[in-house]
Amino acid sequence: MNNLQPSDPTSIGGYPLLGRLGAGGMGQVFLSRTGSGRLLALKTIRDDLSSEPGFEERFAREIRNSDRVRSPWTVTVVDYSAPGRRPQWLATEYVPAPSLADWVAAHGPLPQPALLALAAELCGALQAVHQAGLAHRDVKPGNVLLARDRPRLIDFGVARAADDSRHTRLGVSVGSPGFLAPDQAIGSVAAEPADVFSLAATLVYAATGRGPFSRAGEQIPAATLMYRVVHEEADLAGVPPELVPPLAACLAKDPAGRPTAARLSAWLEESGGRTGRWSDECPAVLAGELTDTEHAARTLVDLAEHPTVAAAGQEAATRTTRSDTVLAAPSEPRRRLRPAWLLTTAVAAVAVVVAVVAAVHFGTQRSSADSSGAAGPATSDKTSASTREPREAEKSKEAGESEPRKSQEPQEGDAAPKVVQAPFELATGESVGSGARSLIIQQDGNLVIYDQDRKARWAAMTSGEGNTARFQPDGNLVVYNSAGRPVWASRTDGHPGAALVFRADGNVVITSGDTVLWAAGTDN
């Protein structure tokens, strides 16, 4: 997760942008939310792709195909751009969870109970896809998200409608080397049996930490992997014995010899693999990390549950451009910083939204209907309309909140920019800024930027008694909790001599020379 860049829009299609999740071959992916607070992964499509003849038609066609799969194991398409609009975009539900690929790379193979539960859930996912008349065509560890309630099978980007001959392209290999079926590797039309093969290869990875046609830690060209898939037998060493026969059957070279997803599900049930068991069997470490990231994600939208307490005469913060914050607490938490896989959550989120987009590039299509709105778009203003009035903040003061004990904020009307050099620290209640904007660490521990009208324009969404904010000599702006642990950072370290600048246009930025390292986006 990264900050919005100064050149990024503040909203797209009426949905406010909260941060960058990452970028894929098709465009940029942002974290957003609906007006009701539902988190979204919103992907914009590169202009050069949008301008390709027929792309817009194919784009909408793939959205409709994806929307045909309605199951607990897939993500929902929430909204997408109207015909003729630029940029083209697609919004899906956001799943704050690591991919199977990231989890196994960081923690190793899944224990057998979790493996069986995962296998059963993914069989259910494939059955839902096939019952909708689709073939996924890119089942792999990177397209499986390990959510708390159940895994999600994502990225229908290379899916094709099985009943639509216009999507049949002989001689084109579609899928991921090492996990795609032999029939896909040689460019044949892949259907349900190819998905079963890829599912088995994915389960081998979950059980052993490698694919069935690769060695541990091996780096080989894609062409070599594809050769092995077509000509060599799968290596099932390390797979639990009871899973070897069904997985071997799924990895048969001949598509006709592979079981259906329903048959595989029945085999798994005989070995103890049943749907509905994942939340009980998933690794404890994963459950703990999911708790942390779900909590952090809620701070972006559940403002009614996590209100900020503003100083007298100020409004509560209602906007943030980051999602990697964790609520601070006076006592030592079980885990404080987000796990390492969250730095690559962009990959998973990109995969969720690339769901339709990648397929478009291979050739699919769209109609003129635009309405998909499962949830209405939120306001495009930088601050929510639900911001508390100053009089409510005054009530907070009467209830026991003290005045800020120190303020370095210049008087209103001072339009000159202000430059703050490191090291600089703000304790609870202290502020710094120019006439246009002020940065304050509130009594509740939230780091907030207010404008001259005392309206909150940005917030780090931190909380906790005793928080401090430090602009460090390395160029990083960091919020620490009372235990001295960082709970938010601008991630601009490595730039000694950087400056915190309150610009005349209202934007608050961290710069190194002429380079903007971080921007709050408070300039309009």
Q: pLDDT by residue for the chain (524 residues), tens digit each? A: 677 888 888 889 888 888 888 776 677 889 888 876 788 889 888 888 778 787 777 777 777 777 778 788 988 888 888 878 888 888 888 888 989 999 999 999 999 999 999 999 999 999 999 998 888 888 999 889 999 999 999 876 534 433 333 333 433 344 467 888 898 878 766 689 999 999 999 999 999 999 999 887 778 888 888 888 899 999 999 999 999 999 999 999 999 999 999 999 999 998 889 999 999 999 999 988 888 777 766 665 543 333 333 333 333 333 333 333 333 333 222 222 334 344 344 444 444 444 444 444 444 333 333 333 333 333 333 333 233 322 233 333 333 333 333 333 333 344 567 899 999 999 988 889 887 899 999 988 889 999 888 888 888 878 778 899 999 999 999 999 888 888 888 989 889 999 999 998 899 999 999 899 998 888 86
What letter represents residue 448's amino acid? V
Determine how β-strand 11-12 pairs with β-strand 15-23.
antiparallel
CA atoms of 241 and 243, how far apart (whole Å): 5
What pLDDT does residue 524 have? 67
DSSP for 251-276 reads T-SSGGGSPPHHHHHHHHHHTT--TT
Q: What's the pLDDT score for residue 321?
A: 33
What pLDDT, on a 0 to 100 scale, did the predictor assign at position 346? 43
Q: Calculate the alpha carbon distances from 74 to 71, 92, 122, 353, 452 in Å.
A: 6, 10, 10, 12, 46
Using alpha carbons, select from 336, 324, 317, 331 the residue that is nearest to residue 446: 317
Q: Which pLDDT value is given to residue 457?
A: 86
How far is 283 from 278, CA to CA, in rounded Å?
9
The secondary structure of 112-129, three-state, reads HHHHHHHHHHHHHHHHHH
pLDDT of residue 193: 94
pTM (two decimals): 0.57
Catalytic residue set: 138
| Tokens matching residue 348 | 């998973």
What pLDDT, on the 0 to 100 scale, is given for residue 260? 96
The domains located in the chain, with CATH, are 100-140+171-285 (1.10.510.10), 390-519 (2.90.10.10)
